[in-house]
Amino acid sequence: MDALNFIDGKHVPAAEWLDNFEPAAGAPYGRVASSDASDVERAVAAARRAFPVWSATPAAQRSRLLRTVARLIERDRDRLARAESVDTGKPLSLAASVDIPRAAQNFEFFADAVTQWQSEAHPTDELALNYTLRQPLGVVACISPWNLPLYLLTWKIAPALAAGNCVVAKPSEMTPMTAHLLGELCAEAGLPPGTLNIVQGLGPRAGAALVAHPEVRALSFTGSTRVGRELAAQTAQRFVKVSLEMGGKNPNLIFADADLDEAVAQTVRAAFQNQGQICLCGSRILVERPAYDEVKSRLVERTRALRVGDPLDPATDQGALVSRQHFDKVMGCLEVARQEGGRVLAGGRAARVEGRCRNGWFVEPTLIEGLGPSCRTNQEEIFGPVATLQPFDSAEDAVQLANATRYGLAASLWTRDLSRAHRVAAQLHSGIVWVNCWMLRDLRTPFGGVKESGVGREGGLDALRFFTEPKNVCVKL
């Protein structure tokens, strides 16, 4: 099946194509449209035509349409989950239980949020009434990554549409299929043509043309810090609103008084879910010294027990990495860790999977110790199934180690001491801190990073604010 552009309410043929690879098999299984500036121009033009009607559509009606999309995603969960698994290499069970349900929840949540959103009004000394209008921007761009394709694409599209904008979205060329299918579902739901447009293809070609388009009023981007830095420079030239959610090198702090059963189980999940290809993964495991040996032993045992295999097999815990290029990068990072003096406690090699996956891009879940905070392995985002262990001696030491990178996206903290939990959480340089949990999300809360992990916030009312422009109206009484 080919992944096409979705422009003005329908899929359109492509003039050029890219191969679409199945990571678990290490071979192409279809094609994806390779868009250029002319495709982007058609998509933006369709969005511009649709904007006057869509922005004037009552919020309750927009809400009903978004809720219909959510129901269709739920209806097609199995089809979408399989497409996501084939495209990304992640276990089918993960796609079916997390990615696709969350995509439906994104539409459901913002369908509710836009009908409950309120503005402000201020009587001014009985002389005037000041009130705030929050108006949609127009055409907005949403660029999403390959690790959580439909999950994060809908996280951006849903609030933009709910607020009355028209969207041109560009998914990753490595994982295009669920975006293609989303276009079908939006058309079936009755979303007006041009309201949502999806342009497939390469970032330097299609993505660059979209970011540079003079009619694009805002950009929501999730991806690498390198690309985010480039996009920030480009959008600054035109004073375009921008939200950037970028890389992470997230710490996971385990104090000796923690519930170690729960801490170890969730630490393994945080390190290796989706093959470590989540920006929120806890790749730096910091353990208070009295508990270090016990935690290390438990982590090694659990990590070695993870089953690497065919993503379509229900028994698989760990699937394939997304591409050959990314596989080579992760393997190179493992070699760097060895050169830096790291001791591999578990994994550390390419994984062999027989049968149809014998040529796939699999890496064993890997734990490494013996590396200091300033080495490359503890400073650079690997974005694979690789985690390091470091001991600490006090809360102050733990905070210093946790904050010792240029990133600040997420952190986890395990302790039974509630006072310490609050104190340490406040000192961590992270956009989100989980205490005695990981990846427990509430869609009402703001999400984003600090330092080189991001600019701006998404989620809840912050997302609706981002996709609107406040206007103050002062009426003299």
Q: What pLDDT does residue 126 have?
A: 85
> Rounded to whole angstroms, how far apart are CA atoms 18 and 160?
29
Predicted structure pTM score? 0.96
Note the pLDDT tens digit of each residue in 211-237. 999 999 999 999 999 999 999 999 999
pLDDT cut 90: percent of the chain above it? 98
What confidence category does residue 119 fall into, taking pLDDT thresholds of 50, 70 and 90? confident
225-284 residue pLDDT tens: 999 999 999 999 999 999 999 999 999 999 999 999 999 999 999 999 999 999 999 999
Q: What is the mean pLDDT of residues 150-171?
A: 98
Amino acid 118: pLDDT: 85
DSSP secondary-structure letter at 206? I
DSSP code, position 273 = G
- pLDDT at 310 (0 to 100): 98
pLDDT at residue 432 greater than cutoff 90: yes
User: Quick one: pLDDT band at residue 31, thresholds 50, 70, 90?
Assistant: very high
Beta carbons within 8 Å of 309's beta carbon, 6+ residues apart: 315, 316, 317, 318, 319, 353, 357
Q: Is 340 a catalytic residue?
A: no
Within 10 angstroms of residue 70's Cβ, the number of other Cβ atoms is 22
Q: Which candidate in 142, 166, 186, 279 is catalytic? A: 279
Q: What is the pLDDT of residue 465?
A: 96
The percent of residues in the chain predicted with pLDDT above 70, rounded, is 100
What's the pLDDT tens digit per position in 302-319? 999 999 999 999 999 999
According to DSSP H, which parts of 57-148 are helical?
59-75, 77-88, 92-94, 100-116
The 8 Å CB, 24+ separation contacts for 458-462 are 458/155, 458/156, 458/159, 458/220, 458/243, 458/245, 459/155, 460/113, 461/113, 461/117
Residue 279 annotated to the active site: yes
